[in-house]
Structure 1
Amino acid sequence: MSNVLIISGHPDLQQSTANRTILDELKKALPNAEIRDLGALYPNYQFDIEAEQAALLKADVIVWQFPIHWYHLPAILQKWLSDVFTFGFAYGTATQLAGKKLILSCTTGGAEEAYQHGGAQNYTIEELSNGHKQTANLCGLEFGGIVHSGSMLYIPNFNSEDDLKAVQTKAVKHAERVMALIK
């Protein structure tokens, strides 16, 4: 099995049933994978650049696990990307990440059907991910695909227990699809 690094870009993972369940399932399936919860490690968004770059260098497969915020990465994951994927490390004079695989694993509160032409969001997840694909291209990363699951919003004391079970079930299936891309 390849060295797998999973970057959790949820700013507060304890508040996310979907992302937390996905990560728990990936942890069970990949006990040797390194999971870096950015929200827990860096609540002030001040990253240890050397530690983050070292983790990336050890990895063969990199998974970004995140909820889509305003059609993009959550702020903590965007800042991590800006701070860690530096010139001379990730692109430019050196592309030290070249040849590694990047997989996007994302969730939305909105339904999957909303992410299509004519749908409520008017664009597909693939189209909204073009910037991430270009980031992979610039850095010499192999783009390994996108796993997206919609309707992944559960709000305690608002949604029902059936809603919770539905999100958890979808999250388990989501993790299985991520595993298929990793292997």
Structure 2
Amino acid sequence: MSNVLIISGHPDLQQSTANRTILGELKKALPNAEIRDLGALYPNYQFNIEAEQAALLKADVIVWQFPIHWYHLPAILQKWLSDVFTFGFAYGLATQLAGKKLIISCTTAGAEEAYQHGGAQNYTIEELSYGYKQTATLCGLEFGEIVHSGGMLYIPGVNTKDDLKAVQAKAIKHAERLVALLK
């Protein structure tokens, strides 16, 4: 299997049933993959650029795992991208990431059927992902697939235990789809 790097872009993974479950399943299924939890490593959003770039250079496949926030990357993942994907490293005269594969693994609180024309979100996940695709193009990355799961909201004290089980089950299925893609 390729060297897989998973960048967890959730700002506080302990608050996310879905993303925490997905990453837990990935750890079990892909024990050699490197998982970098940005929220735990950098709660102040001050990244170790050299360490992050070194991890990217070792990888053959890069996975961004995150919840979509207001149709975009969460702030911590956006800042990581801005700080780490620098001119001369990721794009420009040198594209040191060229040839690596980028896979988007994302969750939404809204149901999957909301992400279609005429649905509550009015656009598909693929249409909302143009920025990720263009980032891959600019950096010479091969854009892989988008693994998306919707309806991944669980709020303790608001939702029921059945809701929790449903989100966990969807998260496990999400991880299985991602693992199948990576193997």
Give the TM-score normalised by the residue count of structure 2.
0.99
For residue 69 of structure 1, what is the aligned residue in structure 2? 69
Tell me the CA shift for residue 167 of structure 1: 0.4
Local SS of the residue matching 1:148: strand
Alignment of 1:129-148 (within 5 A): 129-148=129-148
Q: Which residue of 2 aligns with 1:84?
A: 84
Instruction: Letter of the 1:24 partner, please give it.
Output: G
The Cα shift of 1:181 comes to 1.8
- Which runs of at least 4 in structure 1 moved beyond 4 Å after TM superposition? none
Distance in 1, matches of 2:137 and 2:64, equals 16
Instruction: Give the aligned partner of residue 119 of structure 1.
Output: 119
Contact preservation (8 Å) 1:144, 1:181: no
Superposed displacement of residue 179, structure 1: 1.1
Aligned partner of 1:3 in structure 2 is: 3
Contiguous gaps of at least 5 residues in structure 2: none
Aligned residues: 183
- 1:60 aligned residue: 60
Give the Å deviation of 1:157. Answer: 1.2
Q: Distance in 2 between matches of 1:54 and 1:181?
A: 24
After TM superposition, give the deviation of residue 161 of structure 1 in Å. 0.6
Amino acid corresponding to residue 51 of structure 2 in structure 1: A
Residue deviations 1:12-63 (CA, integer Å, cap 9, x gap): 0000000000000000000011100000000110000000000000000100
> What is the match of residue 20 of structure 1?
20
Percent identity, aligned pairs only, is: 90
Q: Are positions 1:169 and 2:169 aligned together?
A: yes
**Alpha-carbon distance in structure 2 between the residues aligned to 1:29 and 1:98:** 27
Structure 2 residue aligned with 1:40: 40
Q: Check conservation: 1:18, 1:152, Cα contact below 8 A.
A: yes
- Helix, strand or coil for the counterpart of 2:62? strand
Are 1:103 and 1:181, in contact at CA under 8 Å, matched by a contact in 2? no
Secondary structure of 2:66 counterpart = strand
8 Å contact kept, 1:102–1:143: yes
Amino acid at match of 2:18: A
Q: CA RMSD in A?
A: 0.5
SS in 2 for 1:69: coil
